[in-house]
Structure 1
Amino acid sequence: MFDFLTSTKRPADGTTVLPAAEVLARLTELNRKTLPWQIIDGSAEGVDLIAEWKIVDARWYEIFAKASLTKVFRIFLKVDEANTHIRAQDREYEVSWRAGIPALSASARGFRGQKWSVEYEKSYGITEDLDVGVQYEYLFKTAEIKKPLQDAVVACGWTYKGVVFGTP
């Protein structure tokens, strides 16, 4: 009933249920150098895997640095073998800073639960060639990272269970 609100996706009836190790392997196989996100080991955080936006990647870091924005979006994934669920919780952290005369300001915020968002920003200014042009441009969609995870989990016969409160 609340599956839409919690990002929960269930497999179709009759889908073969694969072992937990195979589900984790298939999730890890989603990694591609061309994608703006990656899947890493989550054992240090008490989960099995973490899917995260590659903001520290050189191609993406400069865009965020020009926007004076540091944002980290991560999905924490934990195997619940007894229920054949992959429990997933979104976490987002953002720090921004602005400097000017005579002020310097900073802010920080965090989020934990399930998030659906589309963010787009484009900034114009004077370029190094003294022309007016685009300084930076970025598009961020949580679905771009979440949907492939959900699809991989349900294809293995497991439920992608979005966790709103508590821990994954």
Structure 2
Amino acid sequence: MGTRHADGGTKAVPTQELRAALLALNGTGVPFSIRESGTGGADLLAEWRFLEPAWGSGATRRQVERTLKVWMRLCPREREVRAMDEQWEVTRAGPPPGRTVARSHGRGPIRGIHKEWVLEKGPDGRRRKVETFSFDSRALKDPLRNTVLGAGWTWRGVHKL
């Protein structure tokens, strides 16, 4: 599930200092928001919502909305953060995407890189690929994990908090 330990020479910071450091990730250019959780045994929740580009036209037009969540429980005695990953996917249909045609939900490690391109005619007349959409799960997990490890704590991926 992805357990990582801080370097041996890193002194563990107090729980409140780690909490403050994780909450301070908001507004630093990360694509997600992090807040106090208050539910499900978690202390903090990092959440990233995004829409993939729509494809198709008319009634066959589809658009996928993804929500990635990392639920974090701070365990001061063990000096570890237990992190549970959760993914939601909703596919909507129609010219203005509104009607839900599919839903999926899963727990487990969020891993993935997804990119989409279109072919365009360049200034020289040749066709070239132009990226239209990009998603990399490391943009969510790396800042969280690095903050925890930098604070001298262990990052432990779990299936259940």
TM value normalised by structure 1: 0.74
Question: 1-side partners of 2:32 and 2:22: how far apart?
Answer: 13
Structure 2 alignment gaps of length 5 or more = 56-62, 120-130
The 2-side partners of 1:28 and 1:114 are apart by: 22
In the TM superposition, what whole-angstrom CA distance separates every residue of 1:72-92 from its partner, at most 9, and x where no partner exists? 001111111121110001100
From the two aligned structures, give the one with the greater helix fraction. 1
Deviation at 1:123, TM superposition (A): 5.9
Structural RMSD (CA): 2.6
After the TM superposition, which parts of structure 1 deviate over 6 Å for at least 4 consecutive aligned residues?
A: none
Question: What displacement does 1:7 show?
Answer: 2.0
Unaligned runs of 5+ in 1: 1-5, 56-62, 125-135
Task: Report whether the alignment pairs 1:11 with 2:29.
Answer: no
How many angstroms apart in 2 are the aligned matches of 1:83 and 1:14?
Answer: 17
What is the aligned length?
Answer: 142
Are 1:21 and 2:21 an aligned pair?
A: no
**TM-score, with length taken from structure 2:** 0.77
Q: Contact (CA 8 Å) 1:38, 1:54: kept in 2 or not? A: no
Indicate the residue corresponding to 1:36 in structure 2: 31
Query: Partner residue of 2:152?
Result: 157
Q: For 1:88, give the aligned amino acid.
A: A
Q: Which residue of 2 aligns with 1:82?
A: 77
